[in-house]
Amino acid sequence: MAVSEGALAGVKVLDLSRILAGPTCTQLLGDLGASVLKIENPVTGGDDTRQWGPPYVTDADGNASDLSAYFMSANRNKKSVAVDITTPDGQATIRRLAAEADILIENFKPGGLAKYGLDYATISKELPGLVYCSISGYGQTGPNASKPGYDLMAQGYGGIMSLTGEPTGAPMKVGVGIADVMCGMYATVGILAALRHAERTGEGQQIDIALVDAQVSWLINEGVNYLTSGNVPERRGNGHPNIVPYDVYETADGHVILAVGNDNQFTRFCEFLGLDELPTDERFATNPARLEHRDALNALLRPALLNHGTQTVIRELEARKVPVGPVQTLDQVFDSDQVTARAMQIDMEATPGPVHLIGNPLNFSRTPVTYRHAPPTFGADTQAVLNSKTPFKD
């Protein structure tokens, strides 16, 4: 079956965002085929994350470029256009490009674009069909709307840090900017829904999405556990609030992940460890019982697992159809046959030299993800875009 161009081919995105949430969203739209113009501030040298290094991509002589690894993680499939929106000429340029666009994305503080005449209330009068997405820390409304929002603050305010870390340790953030990334994902979903509406009706709209709102939304089972019981969840390290054993366990030579999801799996797991009596012990016979006696069960399992090496545990439990897996470092992740088979590492040619990026996880049978543009150096496309009669031509 022949494949076609990207699902969003022909969709035009004007990206006024920076850092991570907005760029995550626009990179995903670009991967799906949309044409994305990334507007960057010439006064500051562009997106802040260009300076969030090392590491940086270097040229053939070893000179560092402005392509930090952080910047590249969220900025492929875009063209960089330097525009100073604080000037009348810059504002006129943005309005001209917005008139050509289907989607505008920005992450200024609420009200921050009004003084430039680029806020939704102003621009929608001229462009009623525009899908306009505003990303902020706390949203366009509410008592915290004027406060700045960063990933770490969102993780703290939204509760995920209270659930992450060892029981006796300090609250812990997730190891990457997950609040930003998830906000970008929700923004993408909202934009595609609004675009569908605009295509059917000609009516654009504003999407108001906040890092903190997105963070609260993915508290998922722990959030609803609290709303249902009234009990504030405690940190459990790698343990699961509703399943036991579901944790990281030490082995004779490392660590292994166990995710024993039902009683039959538990029986087969215990057979491997030679603890055949546990599945008939009333304290451990069912998952609710194991949950109640979590500490007593782990006191028996952890010493038994120390008698076996990691690969032995994985091999033997996989043979018994018990969910098990390794804890891999990133070199092991990107060297794995699975990552290679799924094309989750990609290589592209950028202006300073070759770059190595993380692939898009979406696989389409007819409208595949495409990697058309490597992350751009600052302002690389300014003249070509601004002098073109078709600025969004990809």
Catalytic positions are 180
Yes or no: say if 238 and 165 are a contact pair by the CB < 8 Å rule. Answer: no
Yes or no: say if 8 and 33 are a contact pair by the CB < 8 Å rule. Answer: yes
What is the rounded end-to-end Cα distance, in angstroms, of the chain?
A: 25
What does the alpha-carbon distance between residue 207 and residue 224 come to, in Å, rounded to a whole number? 26
Query: Identity (one letter) of the amino acid at 130?
Result: L
Query: Identity (one letter) of the amino acid at 377?
Result: T
Token pair in block for residue 284? 């451990």
Closest CA to 180 of 19, 296, 393, 40: 19
Alpha helices of the chain — where are they, by DSSP H? 21-31, 69-72, 88-100, 120-126, 151-157, 160-163, 178-201, 211-217, 220-229, 263-273, 287-292, 294-305, 310-319, 330-335, 337-341, 382-386
Which residue is associated with the tokens 């194991």? Answer: 290
Closest CA to 295 of 334, 258, 245, 260: 245
What does the alpha-carbon distance between residue 277 and residue 270 come to, in Å, rounded to a whole number? 8
Tell the burial category of 228 from Cβ atoms under 10 Å away from its Cβ (0-12, 13-18, 19+): exposed
Residue 125, classed as helix, strand or coil, is helix
Closest CA to 48 of 19, 84, 14, 78: 19
Query: Identity (one letter) of the amino acid at 369?
Result: V
What does the alpha-carbon distance between residue 317 and residue 324 come to, in Å, rounded to a whole number? 7
Yes or no: say if 313 and 305 are a contact pair by the CB < 8 Å rule. Answer: yes
